[in-house]
Structure 1
């Protein structure tokens, strides 16, 4: 079941408020918790790429020069920053305002769909993954990196406690895991790895639809 309007509005309000300071806020985590994740994703992107929840465009410096990039985000403030970053990099990006759970693109439009550190905050991640599968060509790539529930029980317990605050404030989850949803959507898993006591997961999956 897709998100309610209230859930979507809460997430949008949180990102609109956070957008101006987001890059500064996440800089420490990028260096020590998510290190290498954006490079890992971008190195596996091929062809026509859709980045879902592109945010401020932090992945843009890492993409190969031969891919074409379409970016979508729920937040106009985030997209404005991504647009400025793309201009500074001299990188052509087709940016769209929209909801990850109802992607405004035709079926079989992209060779790669990528989502970084965002399914944790999308109200219905299963709906978003289903939408990603729909817009992928047969054989297309799904690339994900996100923080997930730890494999170490003490850390997972702390994540659960933290969620009691973050879900209410901004819709952000810390004990979700996206890999089972990717499998349930019918993707073939090509690569999957967990890092940092199992709190970070990277996934490369293939869309077998139409085989």
Structure 2
């Protein structure tokens, strides 16, 4: 399947950013997302698919007994992830592909992880439906992202910033992820809102029935 036009543009953007991504994200992780990767990865189990694996920044935090697969739209980001995995001695099957058309069979994974990436996927609803499709019944969905804040003043600032981030790199700042997760047919197990509601952690499950 050919990637969507928007996905092609997104791939070009993240290819350009790949060389400096780790340096740029480090500050935001320290200020906004502290402990988020650990929270998500500690809940992963079994056969794990990380959608939008990026440069592999989660690899340090997964339990040792999980079996990892990573999907990434950007070849340049994927190359960094391969180097990181090799340096850590962490086995992972890495593939290039689009989160909106996952190249995996139905019910292939026990856990799907997506960290700081759903915000930059053009159609997050389609991506969540794909994540649900590839999960086994009872499988876990684990998300960390920035979302629309809980305060009106914060949302106003986010809306203004989005006027820049959307055309620049397709990044949404005012999405409300939790309703989308529920609309995709997941049962929410736990969720946390932090930093004036800007940061959200979600643990959900695909119904077993």
Which residue of structure 1 lines up, in the alignment, with residue 70 of structure 2? 71
Which residue of structure 2 lines up, in the alignment, with residue 30 of structure 1? 29
Gaps of 5+ in 2: none
Shift of 1:12: 0.9
Shift of 1:153: 1.0
Which residue of structure 2 lines up, in the alignment, with residue 162 of structure 1? 161
Structure 1: distance between partners of 2:147 and 2:13 = 20
Structure 2: distance between partners of 1:17 and 1:104 = 24
Shift of 1:5: 3.1
Aligned residues, how many? 207
Which residue of structure 1 lines up, in the alignment, with residue 191 of structure 2? 192
Shift of 1:178: 1.1
Which residue of structure 2 lines up, in the alignment, with residue 142 of structure 1? 141
SS at structure 2 position matched to 1:194: strand
SS at structure 1 position matched to 2:127: helix
Gaps of 5+ in 1: none
Structure 2: distance between partners of 1:67 and 1:52 = 15
Moved over 3 A (4+): none
TM norm structure 2: 0.97
SS at structure 2 position matched to 1:100: coil
TM norm structure 1: 0.96
Verify: 1:8 aligned to 2:3, yes or no: no
